[in-house]
Amino acid sequence: MNSVSDTPKDTLNISIVGSGNVATHLAKAFSGKASVSLVNPHTLEGLPEKSELVIISVKDDAIKEVAAKLKGRAEIVAHTSGSVAMSALEGCAQHIGVFYPLQTFSKNVSLNYKEIPFFIEGSDDTSIRVLTSAARLISEHVMPADSAIRKKLHIAAVFACNFTNSLAGIADELLQEDGLDYKVMLPLLRQTVDKLSSLSPAEAQTGPAVRGDKTVMDAHLKMLEGNDTLSEIYRTLSARISSVATCKTAQ
């Protein structure tokens, strides 16, 4: 007898419904670790007769519709959205839950899945247990989070990831005006993030706003004259940095 046999009986049977970046990456991450099917969200082509776990990974406003079509096809149904409550899945399976990876997924960009934090919510012990086991197949960082906490994580991720990418886009726009490549900024960007492993964001803050260097800030705003969007972003974020620095000093 082989005690570590990899028979179908021991292998979790997971269907991932979706065709976007998250679905594609999840299927890849589970590959070789579970019996995984990638299922077309419109036709449900590829869905086994009965799945242990179906993970719906589609746009937020399509989750309910896909869930309705899955009724009776799976023991456990979960979605991967940061913003949608678990209750959106009510009625589509006996056990429901959420399987939320805190990460930004782009096609053709590889990821170290082990480092991705997964946040799990479940309607009962069964869904929590199976979703946690599934997440642990991929990642070393699996935590519980109810819908309220997940929403908070999601909005924090919008600030820390989506908006950070937008700032890199602004740097790109400014540098392109002088024929410079934004890639010259990458070591600086890497260091900006690396510092946050050992310093808090307040401790790590550098630049004219935290120094209260009005001369430099005025010169920058002069450079941005005529571009209302960038001027407003510069003003708002500088004011936020100044006010945090002032609070820190006042403590």
In the bound state with a copy of itself, the residue whose beta carbon lies nearer, of 87 and 94, is 87
Contact status: 87 vs a copy of itself (CB under 8 A): no
Segment 43 to 82, residues that bind a copy of itself, using CB under 8 A? 59-61
Among 3, 215, 249, 251, binds a copy of itself (CB under 8 A): 215
Segment 125 to 164, residues that bind a copy of itself, using CB under 8 A? 141, 143, 148-149, 151-164
Task: Give the rounded distance of the alpha carbon of 75 from its chain centre.
Answer: 26
Q: Tokens standing for 120? A: 């799990």
The sign of the torsion formed by the CA atoms of 233, 116, 47, 49 equals: negative
Among 50, 115, 124, 246, binds a copy of itself (CB under 8 A): 115
**Least Å distance between CB 86 and a copy of itself?**
15
Sole residue written with tokens 């001369």: 215
d(CA 229, CA 183): 23
d(CA 233, CA 55): 38
Sheet containing 51-56: give its strands across: 35-39, 13-17, 51-56, 74-79, 95-101, 117-122, 141-144
Interface pattern 6-45 for a copy of itself (x via CB under 8 A): ---------------x------------------------
Contact status: 175 vs a copy of itself (CB under 8 A): yes
Q: How many residues bind a copy of itself (CB under 8 A)?
A: 96
Contact status: 88 vs a copy of itself (CB under 8 A): no
Contact status: 246 vs a copy of itself (CB under 8 A): no
Contact status: 171 vs a copy of itself (CB under 8 A): yes
Three-state secondary structure call for residue 51: strand
Contact status: 102 vs a copy of itself (CB under 8 A): yes
Name the DSSP class of 182. G
